[in-house]
Structure 1
Amino acid sequence: MARKSLVDVVADELLDRIVAGEFPPGSGVPGELELSARHEVSRMTVREAMKTLVARRILRVERGRGTFVNPLNQWSSLEAVLRFASEGQDDAAVAVQLIELRRMLETGAAEIAAGRITDGELAEMDEQLALMRAAHEANDVDRFVAADLAFHDLILHASGNVFVAVLFEPLTRILASRRAQTSKVVQIQINALAEHANIMDAMRSHDAERARLAMDRHMEQTLNDLKTHVLES
């Protein structure tokens, strides 16, 4: 692995501080002198680090006023947004937006996959659903989450669209940690099992519209469960 340059080190640490909530959206960040002293680097290095974050639209420069943090919805770096989603403080908003993104991607993937899925892939989905049921009975959240993710991953790959799987892959780590949180709630597991069974039946029928609607209902149920059992509590 290539060693990070000093510019990257300074930019990453400042991003870490932004993600941790030390500098929330709209707030100003330290100037060049303060950052150069903190990192024991030249002002030129700090200036280049700031330019990196400005280019990613994480920061903005206001002439005569200073450098400020942009709202998350203006950031253009997927890596930075994913870091915020996994480590940031605005948990509720990010959790809802992740489900909205999944709804956009996975309903379409299910619709396409229904017409292309093979008997072998259906058998693998059945196996993962069985593993989810067994994990639920054993109160094994980690195994439940692993089987849940594998079930959805099979549908993404069954769609045959390489872009869908590639776009979704960076979300896997975040989804795993968030599913571990929500799946601790027994009622959420029960609801998930019912929705996954409906999706399984729809995929087995090879009915594209039925598969799309089944996945959409699952995403709606997931959002409702998040709001009812996690965010409100």
Structure 2
Amino acid sequence: MENQKLSDKVSSRIKQDILDGKYKAGEKIPAEPELMKAYEVGRSSIREAIKSLAMAGILKVQQGSGTFVNEIQPEENVIGRLPVADFDDINAVRKLLEEEIVKLAVDNHTSAQLQEMEKQLKLRKQAIIAENRQDCTNADIAFHMAIANASKNKVLAGLYQNFTHTIRTFFSKREERGITHFAMSHHLHENLFAAIKSKRKKHAQEIIRNILDHNY
């Protein structure tokens, strides 16, 4: 848990350094050893922070090239400027986004996107078994992001990607719930995947509403 808190702090510091112009849009950020020295943390904390910022659309990891600051930051759009609200407000926005995203994903998904959803579901289950809350959060968000990409609507997918930072921040404030809410909702996520794969639109939308109505 301490490592998770540390990575969250590092992620906030890197984000602030980007806002302050230390790392500019389009530029490559320093390699892990330099970041470890700059932020006085270990490699795992740096990697978790970078993963979090990449999923939030702030950084972009290019295999073999390094990690770059995205040209367009979440702060430059409406969702990026929203404050972190309470759960009801967050869930209301998630419902608007995810119900439409799921509907489109049922019609537009590819086999590769289904494979990505299935991969993240497996990682989510492994993290539940290992009681690794950080990995659960990562896999959960990646699963829903894979569905967003499968919608084939770039605007919706972009909105959802930027919104994931708000979701992640909210999850980090609910640490007292531990791994329980991930475990209790896993069968619903598996059912959602099955409904999308078999193109059962109405059933898929019912499941995503169930997931969000039960604060999962």
TM-based fold match above 0.5: yes
Q: Tell whether the 8 Å contact from 2:145 to 2:161 is kept in structure 1 after alignment.
A: no
Report the Cα offset of residue 188 of structure 1: 0.7
Aligned twin of 1:155: 147
Aligned twin of 1:142: 134
Matched, 1:191 2:187: no
| One-letter amino acid of the counterpart of residue 78, structure 1 | V
**What percent identity do the matched residue pairs reach?**
22
Aligned twin of 2:101: 109
Tell me how far apart the structure 1 counterparts of residues 117 and 142 of structure 2 sit (CA, whole Å).
8
Task: Say which one has the larger Rg.
Answer: 1
2:169 to 177, 192, 200: 177
Aligned twin of 1:212: 205
Tell me how far apart the structure 2 counterparts of residues 2 and 145 of structure 1 sit (CA, whole Å).
25
Q: 1:205 to 1:185 in 2, by over 3 A?
A: same
Tell me how far apart the structure 2 counterparts of residues 2 and 180 of structure 1 sit (CA, whole Å).
22
Stretch of structure 1 that moved more, 159-168 or 186-195: 186-195
Q: Tell whether the 8 Å contact from 2:79 to 2:159 is kept in structure 1 after alignment.
A: no
Aligned twin of 2:31: none
Deviations 1:183-225 (A, max 9, x none): 6433311222121011011111112212111111111122xx6
| One-letter amino acid of the counterpart of residue 110, structure 1 | V
Q: TM-score, normalising length from structure 1? A: 0.56
Tell me how far apart the structure 1 counterparts of residues 79 and 110 of structure 2 sit (CA, whole Å).
34
Aligned twin of 1:133: 125
Aligned twin of 2:36: none
Tell me how far apart the structure 1 counterparts of residues 142 and 80 of structure 2 sit (CA, whole Å).
25
Q: Tell whether the 8 Å contact from 2:106 to 2:196 is kept in structure 1 after alignment.
A: yes
Q: 1:140 to 1:111 in 2, by over 3 A?
A: same
Tell me how far apart the structure 2 counterparts of residues 101 and 123 of structure 1 sit (CA, whole Å).
27
Q: Tell whether the 8 Å contact from 2:80 to 2:162 is kept in structure 1 after alignment.
A: no
Aligned twin of 1:26: none
Kindly report which structure 2 residues correspond to 1:27-42, keeping only aligned pairs within 5 A, or say none: none
Report the Cα offset of residue 151 of structure 1: 0.3
Alignment root-mean-square deviation, CA: 2.4
- Equivalent pairs, count: 143
Q: TM-score, normalising length from structure 2? A: 0.60
